[in-house]
């Protein structure tokens, strides 16, 4: 495997609206991020991914981009961004941006020009199609509910539609049109030339489209079929575009490319994340994908840590000889992992530490999502009006249509909603958790902020935050860096349902990472002279056996 500059590092995701508000408008911004760079440096992260900061009407919280080369005024200016880039670099932190190029915003000038003149160049950037038999061109269902087709604004009654796999304010871009692809590649290079270290690449598998728009057999009572089923059939076409993009952008810049690519199968993994892959790496979403097979969001099934382990271990084994994936516990599209996956008795600081050890020490480039490092749990929402997310609102509606009562639907959102992880970062016990001085914040503040916050944990050596610092330091420790980066993943015998144990192995050396989420202790056979590198509670090592207390973890060199 080729050695890359990002190997062995730990990455951190910032959700800019909710990280730190410097100007008191209730919304996080770039100067706020700059003010927290020392915090990130102290934590030990060396790569920071910013969710979108570009000009946007915020229908899908910035994943609807109106200008790819400008910063949204809510976040600041290009000068602020340049300052952030430079100050991060001074601290040894590389910035990667969010590349949202399956679609743009309906407020992008491309789309406005396209609608205003169907014969314009810009009209070729989108998929405009006539309906079929008085219906939209096909029966695909958008990710956020309803048809993927919407009448073209200004041309209502003309049986003319445009395609949108996400909200109707996010028209899909026509990757089949070469000049549009070139525009996107130029834009990517604009940022890379500025010094951005790479990109997290949004919803990218969706760029492939069957230009006949044949639709698919219905998979629901609405007669529609999920757009992702079409995407899954078109991966060869996507591959062609992805190769072009890599050759024109990431590869010549040696940029880090991390894709949000669902559904990559074993046979094609090498093409995605191998040495010559389309990307450097992709997120491991296999645990999240367990829920996708359910017919409706509101009929979700809880995923226990046992299932999480089995599916994540399987994907670790799959990529051992191919490349790296990015282990995550949560992100801005998912509820907090501690609340979602851990048994109730472990939904606390102890559980957060043990889960953190798994996240940071699995093989791959781990991403920590803001707040995870202090053990943030789901936020309590008391009414549908407290939610912001377009997806949450859609799902609430379909839950009611599906027969749930309002309070049942609210409970579903409290478990599943994307807003769970989008609430403001908890900095202190002050007003708005020290996130903002505004009278109110754009999204509510987590209920436990008075005790669960950075200030309360910073100087406490037993805090979740301090434990994360130790984990990251261990991963970077020159003595263990090699094995913790390149060492093969090996599953160990779980011995009990809620235990997540694995080994990293390199050149005959072996490190065990054992996270015990049971409410009783468990023990493992190790070597008589094994050495404990880190543990979240006091562990006993006697006669070649290590005993790990309930809800804790240990890292041992054998
Ligand atoms: C990705 C993003 C998500 C967004 C969607 C559409 O899944 O992570 O937040 O809603 O793409 O851009």
> Over the stretch 543-554, which tens digit does the pLDDT of each residue have?
999 999 999 999
State the pLDDT at residue 176.
Answer: 98
pLDDT in tens, 128-180: 999 999 999 999 999 988 999 999 999 999 999 999 999 999 999 999 999 99
- For residue 60 and ligand 1, the question of a CB distance below 6 A is answered with yes
CB count, 10 Å around CB of 514? 28
| Residue to substitute in 17, 63, 98, 332 for testing ligand 1 pocket (most ligand atoms within 8 angstroms of CB) | 63
Query: Does the beta carbon of 100 sit less than 6 angstroms from any atom of ligand 1?
Result: yes
Asked whether 203 lines ligand 1 (CB < 6 A), one says: yes
Query: What is the atom index within ligand 1 of the atom nearest the CA of 333?
Result: 9
Is there an atom of ligand 1 within 6 Å of 166 CB?
yes
Verify whether ligand 1 is closer than 6 Å to residue 63 (CB atom): yes
pLDDT at 60: 96
Please state, as a whole number, how many other Cβ atoms lie within 10 Å of the Cβ of residue 42.
12
Percent of the chain with pLDDT over 90: 94
> Of ligand 1's atoms, which has the minimum distance to the CA of residue 100?
12
Query: What one-character-per-residue DSSP string does 99-131 give?
Result: E--SB--TTSHHHHHHHH-TTSTGGGGB-EEE-
d(CA 64, ligand 1 centre) in Å: 9
DSSP assignment of 65-103: -SEEEEE-TTT--HHHHHHHHHHHHHTT-EEEEEE--SB
Q: What is the mean pLDDT of residues 300-321?
A: 94
pLDDT, one tens digit per residue, over 74-85 is: 999 999 999 999
Q: From ligand 1's centre to the CA of 503, what distance in Å?
A: 33
User: What pLDDT sits at residue 294?
Assistant: 62
Ligand 1 pocket mutation, candidates 13, 60, 105, criterion most atoms within 8 A of CB: 60
Strands 160-163 and 128-130: antiparallel
Per-residue pLDDT tens for 16-31?
999 999 999 999 999 9
Catalytic residue numbers read: 202, 260
pLDDT tens digits for range 404-434: 999 999 999 999 999 999 999 999 999 999 9
The CA 373 to ligand 1 mean position distance, Å, reads: 23
Q: Which residue CA neighbors atom 11 of ligand 1 most closely?
A: 203
Ligand 1 center from residue 104 Cα (angstroms): 12
What is d(CA 48, CA 39) in angstroms, rounded to the nearest whole number? Answer: 12
Q: pLDDT at residue 290 above 90?
A: no
Looking at residue 542, what is its pLDDT? 92
Q: Is the pLDDT of residue 54 over 70?
A: yes
- Closest residue (by CA) to atom 12 of ligand 1? 63
Protein residue with least CA distance to atom 7, ligand 1: 203
Residue 402 makes CB contacts below 8 A (sequence gap 6+) with 296, 298, 299
Beta pairing class for 225-226 and 140-141: parallel
Between 298 and 355, residue with greater pLDDT: 355
To test ligand 1's pocket by mutation, which of 108, 168, 172, 203 has the most ligand atoms within 8 angstroms of CB?
A: 203
Q: If you take atom 2 of ligand 1, which residue's CA is the nearest one?
A: 202
For the beta carbon of residue 393, count every other beta carbon within 10 angstroms.
17
Burial 521-530 (b: 16+ CB within 10 A, else e): bbebebeeeb
Mean pLDDT of the 316-331 span:
97
pLDDT digits (tens, 9 = 90+) for 189-210: 999 999 999 999 999 999 999 9
Rounded to the nearest whole angstrom, what is the distance from the C-alpha of residue 143 to the centroid of ligand 1? Answer: 10
Q: How confident is the model at residue 295 (pLDDT cuts 50, 70, 90)?
A: low
CA 343 from centre of chain: 23
**pLDDT in the model for residue 221:** 87
Ligand 1 centroid–CA 450 distance in Å is: 31
Q: State both tokens at 123.
A: 């009209």
Query: 169: Cβ below 6 Å to ligand 1?
Result: no
DSSP 403: T
**All structural domains of the chain:** 11-102+178-379+425-464 (3.20.20.80), 109-163 (3.90.400.10), 486-557 (2.60.40.1180)
- Sign, CA dihedral 291-297-301-306, equals positive
pLDDT at 41 exceeding the cut of 80:
yes
Give the model's pLDDT for residue 257: 98
Ligand 1 atom nearest residue 64's Cα: 12
CA 502, CA 553: separation in Å to the nearest integer? 11
333 lines ligand 1 (CB under 6 A): yes
Please calculate the CA angle 216-217-221 and round it to the nearest 5 degrees: 120
For residue 227, the model assigns a pLDDT of: 96
Q: Count Cα atoms within 13 angstroms, Cβ side, for 540.
A: 9
**In contact, 274 and 266? CB cutoff 8 Å:** no
Q: What is the dihedral of CA 529, 530, 533, 537, to 10 degrees?
A: -100
Average pLDDT for the chain:
96
């Amino acid at each position: 495997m080729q050695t890359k500059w990002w190997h062995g590092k730990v990455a951190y995701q910032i959700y800019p609206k909710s990280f730190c508000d410097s100007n008191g408008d209730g919304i996080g911004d770039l100067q706020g991020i700059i003010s927290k760079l020392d915090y990130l440096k102290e934590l030990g992260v060396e790569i920071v991914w910013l969710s979108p900061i570009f000009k946007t009407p915020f229908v899908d919280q910035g994943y609807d981009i109106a200008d790819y080369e400008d910063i949204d005024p809510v976040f600041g200016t290009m000068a602020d961004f340049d300052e952030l880039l430079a100050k991060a670099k001074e601290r040894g932190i590389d910035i990667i941006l969010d590349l949202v190029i399956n679609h743009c915003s309906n407020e992008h000038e491309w789309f406005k020009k396209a609608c205003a003149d169907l014969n314009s160049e810009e009209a070729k950037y989108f998929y405009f199609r006539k309906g079929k038999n008085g219906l939209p061109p096909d029966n695909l269902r958008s990710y956020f509910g309803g048809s993927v087709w919407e009448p073209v604004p200004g041309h209502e009654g003309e049986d003319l539609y445009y395609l949108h796999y996400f909200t109707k304010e996010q028209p899909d871009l026509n990757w089949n049109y070469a000049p549009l692809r070139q525009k996107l590649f130029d834009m990517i290079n604009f940022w890379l030339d500025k010094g951005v270290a790479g990109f997290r690449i949004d919803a990218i598998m969706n760029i492939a489209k069957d230009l006949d728009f044949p639709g698919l057999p219905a998979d629901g009572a609405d007669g529609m079929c999920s757009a992702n089923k079409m995407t899954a059939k078109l991966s060869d076409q996507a591959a062609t575009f992805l190769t072009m993009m890599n050759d024109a952008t990431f590869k010549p810049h040696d940029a880090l490319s991390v894709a949000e690519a669902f559904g990559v199968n074993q046979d094609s993994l090498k093409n995605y994340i191998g040495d010559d892959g389309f990307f450097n790496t992709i997120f491991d979403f296999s645990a999240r994908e367990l829920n996708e097979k359910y017919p409706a969001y509101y009929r979700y099934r809880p995923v226990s840590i046992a299932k999480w382990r089995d599916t994540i271990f399987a994907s670790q084994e799959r990529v051992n000889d191919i490349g790296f994936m990015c282990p995550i516990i949560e992100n801005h599209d998912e509820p907090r992992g501690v609340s979602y996956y851990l048994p109730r008795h472990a939904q606390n600081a102890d559980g957060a530490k043990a889960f953190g050890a798994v996240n940071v020490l699995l093989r791959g480039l781990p991403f920590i999502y803001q707040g995870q490092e202090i053990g943030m749990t789901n936020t309590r929402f008391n009414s549908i009006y407290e939610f912001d997310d377009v997806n949450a609102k859609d799902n609430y509606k379909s839950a009611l249509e599906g027969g749930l009562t309002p309070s049942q639907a609210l409970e579903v959102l409290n478990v599943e909603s994307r807003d769970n992880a989008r609430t403001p970062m908890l900095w202190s016990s002050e007003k708005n958790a020290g996130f903002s001085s505004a009278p109110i914040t754009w999204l509510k503040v987590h209920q436990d902020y008075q005790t669960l916050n950075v200030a309360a944990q910073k100087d406490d050596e037993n805090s979740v935050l301090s434990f994360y610092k130790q984990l990251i330091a261990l991963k970077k420790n020159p003595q263990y860096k090699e094995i913790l980066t390149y060492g093969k993943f090996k599953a160990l015998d779980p011995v009990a349902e809620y235990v997540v144990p694995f080994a990293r192995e390199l050149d005959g050396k072996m490190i065990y990472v054992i996270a015990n989420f049971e409410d009783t202790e468990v023990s493992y056979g190790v070597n008589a002279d094994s050495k404990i590198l880190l543990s979240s509670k006091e562990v006993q090592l006697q006669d070649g056996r290590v005993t790990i207390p309930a809800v804790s973890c240990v890292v041992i060199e054998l």
